[in-house]
Amino acid sequence: MEAHRRLHAGLIACAIAALASCASTPETEIDPAPEEARFKRSIPVGFVTPLTRLPGWPGDNGDAGLYALRESCRHWATRDPYEIVSEAAPYAGRIGDWASVCNGLSAAPDYDSAVSLLAQTLLPLEVVPDDRNRFTGYFEPEIEVRSRPDGRFTEPVPAVPADLVRDGPRRTLQRLPDGSMRPYPPRALIDTDRLPAIAFGRPEDVFFLQIQGSGRLSFPDGRVIRAAFAAHNAHEFRGIANWLFSRGEITRGEMGMKGIKAWMASARPEALREAMNANPRYVFFKPEAIGDPAQGPKGAMGVPLTAWGSLAVDTRLHAVGLPVWVETAFPDADGAASDPLPFRALMVAQDTGGAIQGPVRGDIYFGTGAEAGAQASRVNTPGRLWVLLPRELALSILAEAPGS
């Protein structure tokens, strides 16, 4: 792990060195020197370029990215400035390294001033993708529920059971009656009849609620609460679209959320359960009151997600809280991918997910409700990703690099 961190920091330092040596020609993209290839076992950076040279700058999402970055700054203001932003991603530096960016952003009187401030203080470093290069979308669903089982409202929205023990961020154990421990079982072996339940929903709604990781629960009396992510059983997430398609249950055109939910709503109970069990990942929730209905659920950083501004990333490689630049494309409103619409935006890495794995793998948060869900379900395209670092942080990494 320590060797990995040194490689990662060294890679970015070399990329920054290339930019510093060409400071008199800021409009030129700088390719890394050949000797930098030894760092590519970490997260490789393809080239460094001025912020204003990013494709599409300042972006297609209005001020959503700026709002999300201010949320990161508000969170960082509660932490020790000497604290490392992320143990997994040392390139992010310490909390205090972001003070000038955050203070300047707080003082910026309008959108144009904020954009100008970022162009002066941030340095973009493109991340080279592996074969998992992909951008997808997610959202906060709102589902109908009941306080007790009723008709098709039979599936528990599960709370964390008493036998679940979290052993670090990526390991979940089950405490047995004799006090011994074992890995928490997959979905197929969890007895849902014995789980504590926040509410009860239709099986297909609760299944997709677990895929999204959080959502809003709407009761018949008009009450709405949030089912916030609390824990999972630490099994790998597996989508069921290909599983259903390979068995002839759905067509290729029905492989999205809408088609799968329609199949689930009409399937025999045994077939429905078998399909759900094809995904061994099982998510548990905690109930939360909804304060500002315009705010999204809290992501991995602990701040409310911003529609079109928050991105879920692989937190084994990236630090939550950091601004990034995303370039990808969205299919049109009918889902046609033949002429996708380009999307280029400032976003902030504020969440993660079990299926988000790889250096250029992102999940774009689209907001709450059916319209956000329709947009999120259409996105599944490759793209490019830049991490944006304060120049002061970049120079400090350079100064500490071996051989500097």
Q: What pLDDT score was predicted for residue 39?
A: 27
Q: What pLDDT score was predicted for residue 219?
A: 98
Whose tokens are 């774009």? That residue is 364
Segments of 203-306 assigned E as strands: 215-218, 224-232, 283-288
d(CA 133, CA 365): 17
Q: Is residue 109 part of a domain?
A: no
Q: Is residue 215 part of a domain?
A: yes
Per-residue pLDDT reduced to its tens digit, 219-253: 999 999 999 999 999 999 999 999 999 999 999 98
Q: Are strands 172-175 and 323-330 parallel, antiparallel or unpaired?
A: unpaired
Q: Which of 127, 69, 111 is nearest to 309 (CA)?
A: 69
How many domains in the chain? 1
Cα-based torsion angle of the residue sequence 307, 310, 311, 316 in order, rounded to the nearest 10 degrees: -150
Q: What pLDDT score was predicted for residue 90?
A: 87
Q: What pLDDT score was predicted for residue 338?
A: 59
| Preceding peptide of 50 cis, ω within 30° | no
Q: Which of 187, 191, 193, 174 is nearest to 238 (CA)?
A: 187
* Residue 236, domain CATH: 2.40.240.50
Q: What pLDDT score was predicted for residue 7?
A: 34
Q: What pLDDT score was predicted for residue 43?
A: 54
Q: Is residue 266 part of a domain?
A: yes
d(CA 200, CA 330): 34
pTM reported for the whole predicted model = 0.82
Q: Which domain holds residue 200?
A: 137-288
CB 126 within 8 A of CB 386: yes
Chain centroid to CA 53: how far? 25
Tell me the residue type at 367: G
Q: Is residue 198 part of a domain?
A: yes
Q: What pLDDT score was predicted for residue 9?
A: 41
Q: Is residue 272 part of a domain?
A: yes
- Residues of the chain whose pLDDT is less than 70? 1-48, 333-338, 394-404
Structure tokens given for 317? 């490689």
